[in-house]
Chain A
Amino acid sequence: MTEGGKQPVVEARGFRKRYGAQRAVDGLDLTIHAGEIFGLIGPDGAGKSSFMKAVAGVLQFDGGSLSVFGTAIDSDAAAESIKDRIGLMPQGLGQNLYPDLSIEENVDFFARLRLVPQAEAEARKERLFAITRLGKFRARPMKQLSGGMKQKLGLVCTLIHAPLLIVLDEPTTGVDPVSRRDFWAILAELLQETGATALVSTAYLDEASRFDRVLLLHEGRALAAGEPSSLSAAQSGTVLTLHDLQSDEALQLARQFGYLEPRGRDWRLFLAGLNAEAAQAAITTLLGRTVQTRASEPELEDAFIALVGAPPAAPPVVVAQAHGAEPVIEARHLTRRFGDFVAVDDANFRVLPGEVFGLLGANGAGKTTAIKMLNGILPPSSGEGWVAGADMKRAGRAIKARIGYMSQAFSLYTDLTAIENIQLYASIYGLSRQQARERARWIVDMAGLAGFEDALAASLPMGLRQRLALGCALVHSPRVLFLDEPTSGVDPLGRRRFWDILFRLAREEGVAVLVTTHYMSEAERCDKLALMFAGRVVAEGTPASLKQALAARRGKLLALEVEAPRQALVQLQSAGVDASLHGRRLHCFVADPAAEAPRLCQLLASAGLAARALGELPASMEDVFVALMTELEAT
Chain B
Amino acid sequence: MQFLLTLRDWMRPMLALTRKELTQLWRDRVLLLFLVYAFTVDIYLAGSGVTLQVSHARTVISNADHGVAARELTGRLVEPTFRVDAQAHTQAQALAELDRGGAMLALDIPPRFSADLAAGRQTTIGLWADTSNSVQGFMAASYITRVVSRFGIETGLSQALGQGAGVAAGSLPTVDNRIRAWYNPNQDDAWFMSLSQLLNIITVFAILLPAAAAVREKERGTVEQLLVSPLSPVQILLPKVLAMGGAILLAILLSLGFVLWPIFDVPCRGSLGLFFGLSALYVFSTAGLGLFIATVARNQAQVGMLTILLLAPMLFLSGAWTPPEAMPPWLAHAMVISPLHHFMDIAFGVMLKGQTAAALLRPIATLSVIGCLLFGFGLYRFRRQFG
List chain A positions with a Cβ less than 8 A from chain B.
372, 375-379, 397-398, 400-401, 403, 405, 407-409, 411-416, 420, 423-425, 427-430, 472-473
Measured in the bound complex, the distance between the Cα atoms of B16 and A425 in whole Å is 9
Say yes or no: A411 contacts B222, CB within 8 Å. yes
Partner of B228 from the list A377, A412, A413, A415 (CB cut-off 8 Å) is A377
Chain B's nearest CB lies how many Å from the CB of A431?
A: 10
Supply 20 A–B pairs (Cβ within 8 Å), ascending by A.
Answer: A372-B224, A375-B228, A377-B387, A398-B230, A400-B229, A405-B224, A407-B221, A411-B220, A411-B222, A413-B20, A413-B220, A413-B222, A416-B23, A420-B23, A424-B17, A428-B17, A428-B231, A429-B230, A430-B12, A473-B225
Say yes or no: A430 contacts B387, CB within 8 Å. no
A-side contacts of B222, CB under 8 Å: 411-413
Say yes or no: A424 contacts B20, CB within 8 Å. yes
* Residue from B221, B222, B228 with most neighbouring chain A CB atoms (10 Å): B228
Q: Does B100 interact with chain A (Cβ within 8 Å)?
A: no
| Chain B: CB-nearest residue to A400 | B230
Measured in the bound complex, the distance between the Cα atoms of B387 and A352 in whole Å is 27
B-side contacts of A379, CB under 8 Å: 387
A-side contacts of B12, CB under 8 Å: 427, 430
Q: A375-B228, A427-B13 are in contact. List 8 more A-B contacts (CB 8 A).
A: A378-B387, A405-B228, A413-B20, A425-B225, A427-B12, A428-B226, A429-B230, A430-B9
Q: Does B24 interact with chain A (Cβ within 8 Å)?
A: yes
Say yes or no: A428 contacts B28, CB within 8 Å. no
Say yes or no: B229 contacts A428, CB within 8 Å. yes
Measured in the bound complex, the distance between the Cα atoms of B228 and A473 in whole Å is 10
Q: Does B227 interact with chain A (Cβ within 8 Å)?
A: yes
B-side contacts of A405, CB under 8 Å: 224-225, 228
Chain B's nearest CB lies how many Å from the CB of A338?
A: 13
Q: Does B34 interact with chain A (Cβ within 8 Å)?
A: no
A-side contacts of B387, CB under 8 Å: 377-379
Measured in the bound complex, the distance between the Cα atoms of B228 and A400 in whole Å is 6
Chain B's nearest CB lies how many Å from the CB of A406?
A: 8
Say yes or no: A413 contacts B16, CB within 8 Å. no
B-side contacts of A398, CB under 8 Å: 230
Q: Tell me whether A409 and B221 are in contact in the complex, defined as CB-CB below 8 angstroms, given that A400-B230, A420-B23, A429-B230 are known contacts.
A: yes
Measured in the bound complex, the distance between the Cα atoms of B20 and A429 in whole Å is 15
B-side contacts of A397, CB under 8 Å: 230
* Residue from A408, A414, A423, A427 with most neighbouring chain B CB atoms (10 Å): A427
Say yes or no: A403 contacts B228, CB within 8 Å. yes
B-side contacts of A427, CB under 8 Å: 12-13, 15-17
B-side contacts of A429, CB under 8 Å: 13, 229-230
Measured in the bound complex, the distance between the Cα atoms of B27 and A401 in whole Å is 30
Say yes or no: A428 contacts B13, CB within 8 Å. yes
Docked complex: B1-56 residues within 8 A CB-CB of A: 9, 12-13, 15-17, 20, 23-24, 27-28
Q: Tell me whether A428 and B220 are in contact in the complex, defined as CB-CB below 8 angstroms, given that A377-B387, A400-B228, A400-B229 are known contacts.
A: no
Q: Tell me whether A416 and B221 are in contact in the complex, defined as CB-CB below 8 angstroms, given that A427-B12, A427-B13, A430-B230 are known contacts.
A: no
A-side contacts of B220, CB under 8 Å: 409, 411, 413-414
Say yes or no: A411 contacts B221, CB within 8 Å. yes
Q: Tell me whether A423 and B227 are in contact in the complex, defined as CB-CB below 8 angstroms, given that A379-B387, A408-B221, A415-B24 are known contacts.
A: no
Chain A's nearest CB lies how many Å from the CB of B33?
A: 16
Say yes or no: B224 contacts A377, CB within 8 Å. yes
**Closest 8 pairs (CB-CB, A-B):** A427-B16, A411-B221, A397-B230, A405-B228, A411-B222, A400-B230, A428-B13, A407-B224
Measured in the bound complex, the distance between the Cα atoms of B362 and A460 in whole Å is 54
| Chain A: CB-nearest residue to B12 | A427
Q: Mark B335-377, 1 if CB is under 8 A from A, else 0.
A: 0000000000000000000000000000000000000000000
Chain A's nearest CB lies how many Å from the CB of B226?
A: 7
Say yes or no: B13 contacts A472, CB within 8 Å. no
Partner of A407 from the list B9, B28, B225 (CB cut-off 8 Å) is B225
Measured in the bound complex, the distance between the Cα atoms of B387 and A411 in whole Å is 20
B-side contacts of A414, CB under 8 Å: 220
Docked complex: B211-246 residues within 8 A CB-CB of A: 220-222, 224-231
Q: Does B321 interact with chain A (Cβ within 8 Å)?
A: no
A-side contacts of B226, CB under 8 Å: 428
* Residue from B15, B16, B27, B231 with most neighbouring chain A CB atoms (10 Å): B16
Q: Does B182 interact with chain A (Cβ within 8 Å)?
A: no
Chain A's nearest CB lies how many Å from the CB of B1?
A: 18
| Chain B: CB-nearest residue to A456 | B27
Measured in the bound complex, the distance between the Cα atoms of B230 and A427 in whole Å is 11
Say yes or no: B224 contacts A424, CB within 8 Å. no
B-side contacts of A420, CB under 8 Å: 20, 23
Q: Does B330 interact with chain A (Cβ within 8 Å)?
A: no
Q: Tell me whether A416 and B24 are in contact in the complex, defined as CB-CB below 8 angstroms, given that A377-B224, A424-B17, A472-B225 are known contacts.
A: yes
Chain A's nearest CB lies how many Å from the CB of B63?
A: 64
| Chain A: CB-nearest residue to B232 | A397
Measured in the bound complex, the distance between the Cα atoms of B297 and A42 in whole Å is 36
Say yes or no: A413 contacts B17, CB within 8 Å. no
Chain A's nearest CB lies how many Å from the CB of B364?
A: 34
Measured in the bound complex, the distance between the Cα atoms of B231 and A473 in whole Å is 15
A-side contacts of B17, CB under 8 Å: 424, 427-428
Measured in the bound complex, the distance between the Cα atoms of B230 and A420 in whole Å is 19
A-side contacts of B227, CB under 8 Å: 376-377
B-side contacts of A424, CB under 8 Å: 16-17, 20
Measured in the bound complex, the distance between the Cα atoms of B229 and A473 in whole Å is 10
Chain A's nearest CB lies how many Å from the CB of B203?
A: 26
B-side contacts of A376, CB under 8 Å: 227-228
| Chain B: CB-nearest residue to A426 | B16
| Chain A: CB-nearest residue to B387 | A379
